[in-house]
Structure 1
Amino acid sequence: MRIIADPATLSTLPQQPGVLVPTMGALHEGHFELIRRARSEAGPEALVMVSIFVNPIQFDRPDDLAAYPRTMEEDLEKCRAEGVDLVFTPDADAVFFPDRSTKVIESALSDTLCGATRPGHFDGVCTIVLKLFNLLRPTAAVFGEKDYQQLAIIRRMVRDLNIPVEIIGHSTVREPDGLAMSSRNARLTAEQRADAPRIRQAMLAAAEESTPETILSTARQAIESPLNQIDYLELVDAETLETATDLTQPSLLATAVFYNSVRLIDNLLIPAR
């Protein structure tokens, strides 16, 4: 496994087909599923590449950036065990020029859900993903569907800018109790961790309702607890991410929930009726 921290080194490597899994580290089983999917897509000839970079420009809260778990040595060992071919581990100073004045802005899908409550978040996501694509030159990249809005925005960016990278979505990986796997889960207290599976349970129960209004009210009542605070809870069109006014098209029930400063997201696709 090759570990590269200096972006300049990447330009000296021979160009070779590869599948990229972008991460911010603190790797867990959810990431490993993405890496295995990348290996399946890459086949025996192409590289599997992982980036480990806590991207400062996608954080809207300085305390969240400071508290984000960083476990580089463990992450590298896990990548080696998964058979990753190349790991890109740059510092922020090596990725961003101090006088940078260019960023990537998506303006149709990023105003709702996480985009509404995290100003500038998706500008930071799009900018770093495009930089990773330019630096690592993958032929494909794998993203988890837990970050449904992020996946949709990256697909739109790739389409609109004619970026020659195939975007592969992989289903959300969950703990046995249904909680979506996340690096942030490690920051939950034992009491919060025992409470957090209610998010998934609430969404499954709400999906049985027959109108957008009852879906949202059922989900809200089931998610709320003395331990958490809902950041947002919305039912949107699964394609446009605009508010769903009926259930005639596939829709997405999506939420972000705070347990103190730990913000968890999840979503559930609801078929058209």
Structure 2
Amino acid sequence: MTSERDVRPRPHVVRRGTGVPLVMVHGNGVDHRLLLELDEVFAAPGRWERIYVDLPGFGRSPALEGRGGLTDLADWLDAWVGETVGETPFAVVGNSMGGLLAADLAARRAGQCLGLALLAPVVVAQHDRRRRARAQVREDPQLLASLDPADAVEYAAVAVDQTRQGWEAFRRAVLPGLRAGDPEAGRRLAAAYALPMPSPGDLDLPVLVVTGRQDAIVGVDDQWDWARGLPRGSTASLDRAGHNVHLDRPEVVAALLADWAWQVHPAG
């Protein structure tokens, strides 16, 4: 007899280091490589085991069967974390849609999750209800002209400050995931893209929220209004940064995450 556990898709996972489990949850349309850019922040020997997962239908992970909506991804993530870390205390970092999923996970496992870091998180799932920022783009026409036209379109769609350094980070961290996902899984997810953000009062643990001031995809206002209710929240909104805030302002985001990681780790 085949159980639900037997048919649940086995994801592609990259594990680095040893120590307290740190689950890294990427956003929509990309894969785990987006968050690999942060690995050095948590790489001190023996402190964190970084667990990067490709969500079902993204990167190299097979898609969910059936509806494949956002609540289905949330249920899958909770079950997978339970299988992966058991009852061991863990922390979680989530980006964009992965931020919403990470917050949902932390609320479900409130007694087990040590801390939550959210980078440009989705707070309002419905696109037409988000209060989005107006992207103020610093264009570099010469840079865009030097790129493959398809790459230039993808980069220009999200780059707030177009620079060679920014393009190289986008090429490493974003483009591979954009091209690796399952298009049908993406369509099914879009058709059932609904999941409520947990109440901030239900997250009584260290929570870091970092937003890009020029984020035209999820904005900043919904995030700040939500974060005001966090019992132990820290927030930062960074200028000259869009939706890929950790790629646009890597040094600042790294410093914020390093402080959060020190606060969250059982050893301090």
| TM-score bracket, shorter-length normalisation | 0.3 to 0.5
User: How does the TM-score come out when normalised to structure 2?
Assistant: 0.35
Structure 1 length as normaliser, TM-score? 0.34
If each structure's strand is expressed as a fraction of its own residues, which one has the higher value?
Answer: 1
Larger radius of gyration: 1
Greater relative contact order (Cα < 8 A, sep 6+): 2
